[in-house]
Every structure is written in structure tokens, then in C-alpha cells.
Amino acid sequence: MSYLTNPYMVTPAETSQEQLERDDARNAYQSSQAGVGLYLASNDALGVGSKLVSYTAFVTKQGSPTGTVYCRVYNGGSLETTATTTYDASDISSSPTFDEKEFTFDETHTLASGDFILLWYDEGDGSNYLQVGYQNEDVYDGTNSVLGFHHSSTFQNNTGDDPTFKMTYSP
């Protein structure tokens, strides 16, 4: 059996977006406040309708946290997908340095309004935790893509703040 290929066929390009301003950080530790990242608040939010390729969070540590750092996507309280990349919390730089941690996905999840793309760290304690950078004002795309987080065991967002992030998605 032979396969023909079209040398003129164009592969759809990936799109990368970023918001690199940062003047604050939100804590991540234990299951009650395990996640911090991006909330896609509307159908006009970043990447809605596209496949998630990667998400980069800007993270630092306080104390001596241990364990695994993930990136997960939740919608309606349900886990949709987890990045194939993980990091060891003990390898993250201490404050005030923020590391760029890129998490790659298998590109099976189509981004949707209501998605929370969160750096997820459910270990540590009040003395040994991670902090994820964000800008304490809306600087990105209005109230479409905003700071999202998991706190007091619920998913929440703050439309007046934007996470510090890089994200790549494909059609």
C-alpha cells in the first residue's frame, strides 16, 4: 500500500500568547488551595475552541516544599486533562526568583469557556508552599481571560487580576 502526500498542504499553525506582567503572587499548597492559573471566562477568552498545546506558569517557592507540581484543566469542577509534564517542587527557585515552568499537553482537550488551567500543587503547608505570579490589575483581554484559582476547596476567579503566563494552542 502506498500513501500519497501533498507537499502543498499547509499544517495549521500553533498560536502563542503571553501576559508577562507580575506584581503579586498567590499561594498554592494542600488540597484547600492547590491551584492557581488562568480562567477562561467567556467564549471570547484566549484559545476557546482550540486544542491546548502548552501552558507556562511563573512560580517560586517559600520554605522547602516537596512533592510533584502538575498543570491541570478543570471545568465545572471536573478534571478535564492533566499535562504530561510535571516538576519536583524542591527544584523550583526560592523567592524572589520566579521560574518559568512549561507544561505540555497531549492536545486532546479543546479549550472551552469555564476552563480553569491551573498549576496544581496539593502538598506542602503554610510554611512550605509555592507561589504563582499574577498582575494585580486587568492588563490582558478585559474580563475574558482572568486569574483563576482553587481556594477553600472551590474554583474561583478574579476578573480584576490577570495571571502571568504563556500559552500555546492549535486549531
Q: For residue 2, tell me if it sits in a domain.
A: no
Instruction: Tell me, yes or no, whether 3 lies in a domain.
Output: no
Residue 28 lies in a domain: yes
Q: Which domain holds residue 156?
A: 15-170
Q: Which residue has the cell 505570579?
A: 133
Whether 143 is covered by a domain: the verdict is: yes
Q: What are the pLDDT digits (tens) for 57-90?
A: 999 999 999 999 999 999 999 999 999 999 999 9
| Amino acid symbol at 137 | E
The mean of the pLDDT values for the chain is 92
d(CA 11, CA 97): 38
Task: Indicate which CATH number applies to the domain containing 111.
Answer: 2.60.120
Q: Is residue 7 part of a domain?
A: no
34 belongs to a structural domain:
yes
Phi/psi of residue 89, each to 5°? -60, -35
Contact 92, 101 (CB under 8 A): yes
In this prediction the pTM is 0.91
Residue 9 predicted with pLDDT over 70: no
Confidence of residue 141 (pLDDT cuts 50, 70, 90): confident
Number of domains in the chain: 1
Amino acid found at 140 = Y
User: Is there a domain that residue 58 lies in?
Assistant: yes
Q: Look at residue 10 and tell me if it is in a domain.
A: no
